[in-house]
Structure 1
């Protein structure tokens, strides 16, 4: 049974839509929890998604004018057909050919998370966009200039009026709209999901089932539940690039125990999101499994799961690697990757 959350606000959704005062209702959007998913983790009641809030957020997400060069939008690095990642780019690219230090993470199933970014620097979707918006190597946006732009745009004038009771064009409302768009991005219709829900099209092959069994014994401790992540922060033994020295979660907490820990990514749509790891160092799933099998490096904060019985890493045979990849391919959700509700055009 799927759970549906309707966040009903304590004010009416009636606004003036046009200059001749034709009325319309800004309806709340239902957040549907698939039956094979855990409960929502994010408190959507703080900023309930609505039809017009979502529409405004989508326009903002794909608007390059939020960046200093007028070209780099959120959607520039978060490409829908690749689960909103920057497929093929090791690091994210920003304005003026600026290069970041991390691979662009996927945007999917945000309502089932409580911290965001590889280091957990944000714990609220209404605030998270500030990080890429103001980063000098990403969008390099000027919030005052963005306000001027939006206030001069007749479409934005209408959408802000429709989406919020006060109708104000503010940075706060802009961020709320972006949050409403992101919180609705749910990927839950892969072949694996249909298998788990016993739906048509969910029959797994013998090889896929073998891979799933291996996954449950070798990978599911971190890539837990049907969300394919436990949303924790872990050190998976990567050799640190000295030129960057990305300290991961430590950057936020300043706890020595968090050195080189990064958020466990979801494996949903993983076949479509190469390259892999927080720094995009691996270009294929085969190279990822080779790494876990024989490349993990020990360190004081290495996750204990990767150091058991005196063995560092996850022992895998060539056959097992093939079976695991066969299973991982069942996590591709083509409906999500092509859903027009989330597309720029």
Structure 2
């Protein structure tokens, strides 16, 4: 067989052209595979909320981290049987509660607490009804591992996500590492949950001078934020003492946001905050939750015992139970006589209770419960 070779000059030209083509190909591949750093997300708090919050220095916001956290929040494969996600107990349409007295876990077994609303969490420093978590990162992993809620060991959660090419790419985009860890799962979830800000209710518009409240709503607002003085006849609903600012929640100074609000007598008190602090004076105290979107988050209290806001007002107005750790803000306001069976309670009229409920309805933020950025990315 005879082979024909081109002249030497032509060979040199061919080699040169091939080298140029190779460089172009490599350059193109380099551009395609260049590592893109996560894109910073600028968190801008509502102007009337203030900046009394902290973002962990090791978990700053990124667009990729928030989106990964959103996917993980709704990822049912983070439960043992693949049937439950964080979003199962925290539904956007219900202001991230689930409408049940107690939530259902992987085997439809009931938890022992009502699902808390997730809103404006970046201004909070204690989480769960008993305050056992002090960061959102810590909070986010506990339901996954809890034997009733999602019942998935964290090492198995890591393994499941590692076996997903999609999640491997998402973690790499968010955190620039090939290794998925429980710590990174927590960071992504925390980033997403910190974006759950509700700030466009009728009440917000009133505060910003962009809308008005009705006379009934104004009366309710004034009653809500007034600490009554029985001795002078000053009337008030005493709500703002515990739900103490425009966020209607507060816990940044120690455990000041935790209260025994008179749900039970001494012999029936649950441990509550005492399970965290081991202090007897904290028995029966629970976190005062945000009242944002409160009209959507029934039933109420840590054990979901009240089905309606009317029942809640009835409790504070005439059904306070006396115990040694009853919050002084309540006993002072209601002039309770703890040494007899007589109790002089708030004494709100039906008109005043209706006004407070009308005000509470102004805390509903329709934009928050319909915001696509907070929605389930896996829904049909």
TM over 0.5: yes
Partner Cα separation in structure 1 for residue 141 and residue 212 of structure 2:
43
> Structure 1 pair 57/116, CA: closer, same or farther in 2 (3 Å)?
same
Partner Cα separation in structure 2 for residue 205 and residue 340 of structure 1:
30
* 2:291 pairs with 1:267: yes
SS in 2 for 1:314: coil
Q: Which residue of 2 aligns with 1:291?
A: 315
Partner Cα separation in structure 1 for residue 144 and residue 167 of structure 2:
18
How big is the shift at 1:41?
A: 2.6
CA displacement 1:298-329 (0-9 Å, x = unmatched)? 10000011112335653311110100011110
Q: Which residue of 1 aligns with 2:213?
A: 204
User: Structure 1: any 5+ residue segments left out of the alignment?
Assistant: 1-17
> Structure 1 pair 20/242, CA: closer, same or farther in 2 (3 Å)?
farther
Partner Cα separation in structure 2 for residue 42 and residue 182 of structure 1:
14
1:37, 1:225 within 8 Å by CA — same for their partners in 2? no
> Structure 1 pair 40/166, CA: closer, same or farther in 2 (3 Å)?
farther
Partner Cα separation in structure 1 for residue 81 and residue 302 of structure 2:
26
CA displacement 1:119-150 (0-9 Å, x = unmatched)? 00000111112221111111111222212211
Q: Which residue of 1 aligns with 2:340?
A: none
How big is the shift at 1:44?
A: 3.5
Structure exhibiting the larger radius of gyration computed from Cα positions: 2
Q: Which residue of 2 aligns with 1:327?
A: 359
* 2:192 pairs with 1:181: yes
Q: Which residue of 1 aligns with 2:277?
A: 253
Partner Cα separation in structure 1 for residue 203 and residue 163 of structure 2:
47
Partner Cα separation in structure 2 for residue 313 and residue 25 of structure 1:
60
Partner Cα separation in structure 2 for residue 242 and residue 150 of structure 1:
46
1:248, 1:260 within 8 Å by CA — same for their partners in 2? yes
1:212, 1:324 within 8 Å by CA — same for their partners in 2? yes
How big is the shift at 1:207?
A: 1.1
Q: Which residue of 2 aligns with 1:314?
A: 346
Q: Which residue of 1 aligns with 2:146?
A: 135
Q: Which residue of 2 aligns with 1:158?
A: 169
CA displacement 1:204-226 (0-9 Å, x = unmatched)? 11111111111111211111111
How big is the shift at 1:25?
A: 4.6
Q: Which residue of 1 aligns with 2:263?
A: 238
Residues matched between the structures, number:
325
Partner Cα separation in structure 2 for residue 304 and residue 322 of structure 1:
25
> Structure 1 pair 96/146, CA: closer, same or farther in 2 (3 Å)?
same
1:1-345 matches, within 5 Å, as 20-21=32-33, 24-87=36-99, 89-199=100-210, 202-217=211-226, 218=237, 219-231=239-251, 232-239=257-264, 246-308=270-332, 309-310=335-336, 311=343, 313-345=345-377
2:266, 2:323 within 8 Å by CA — same for their partners in 1? no
1:94, 1:138 within 8 Å by CA — same for their partners in 2? yes
> Structure 1 pair 300/238, CA: closer, same or farther in 2 (3 Å)?
same
Partner Cα separation in structure 2 for residue 224 and residue 57 of structure 1:
30
Partner Cα separation in structure 2 for residue 84 and residue 24 of structure 1:
33
User: Structure 2: any 5+ residue segments left out of the alignment?
Assistant: 1-29, 227-236, 252-256, 337-342
> Structure 1 pair 38/257, CA: closer, same or farther in 2 (3 Å)?
farther
Across the aligned residues of Structure 1 and Structure 2, the Cα RMSD in angstroms comes to 2.0
SS in 2 for 1:32: coil
1:270, 1:332 within 8 Å by CA — same for their partners in 2? yes
